[in-house]
């Protein structure tokens, strides 16, 4: 999760929402890491989770990423939750909850829907306060 926070910091410094993600194999190897970049990439799907899953899928030559753990600094949105399900990520560890835009513990609760074909194990991770503080400071500075 510390690496995901670093990715989030870098995204924030680049003017993106400070959100980061890291995907780790069952052996503990970092397969991919990324921060948010929809602005720089001109891509509405340029969320940290999507970018991380894309990098890992390219690296492993497989769109399915079984036996992996995804660490994220913020509760994923519905788009990212869908991608996590399709990729068959085994475990999702979330630092900070997102009552407004989250789709795991809030909103549509994507993994609880009958149309969801794969549900990762979901856990609350460390650094929730740090991730939340980083996001609050970022958005406060822009208001």
Known binding residue 116? Answer is no
Annotation-wise, does 47 bind a ligand?
A: yes
Which of 49, 112, 124, 130 is flagged as catalytic?
49
| Partners of 93 in the β-ladder | 71, 123
Residue 49 is a catalytic residue:
yes
80 annotated as ligand-binding: yes
Q: In Å, what is the CA distance from 13 to each residue of 23, 26, 43, 44, 100? A: 22, 31, 18, 19, 23
User: CB atoms < 10 A from the CB of 25, how many?
Assistant: 14
| Residues annotated in a binding site for Zn(2+) | 47, 77, 80
Active-site residues: which are they? 49
- Enumerate the known binding-site residues: 47, 77, 80
């Amino acid at each position: 999760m510390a690496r995901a926070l670093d990715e989030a910091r870098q995204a924030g410094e680049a003017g993106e929402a400070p959100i980061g993600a890291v995907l780790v194999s069952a052996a503990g190897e970092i397969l991919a890491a990324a921060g948010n970049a929809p602005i720089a990439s001109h891509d509405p799907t340029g969320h940290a989770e999507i970018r991380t899953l894309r990098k890992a899928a390219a690296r492993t030559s497989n769109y399915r990423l079984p036996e992996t753990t995804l660490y994220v600094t913020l509760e994923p949105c519905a788009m990212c939750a869908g991608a996590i399900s399709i990729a068959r990520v085994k475990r999702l560890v979330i630092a900070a909850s997102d009552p407004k835009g989250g789709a795991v513990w809030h909103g549509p609760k994507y993994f609880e829907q009958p149309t969801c074909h794969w549900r990762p194990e979901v856990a609350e991770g460390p650094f929730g306060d740090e991730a939340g503080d980083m996001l609050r400071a970022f958005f406060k500075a822009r208001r």
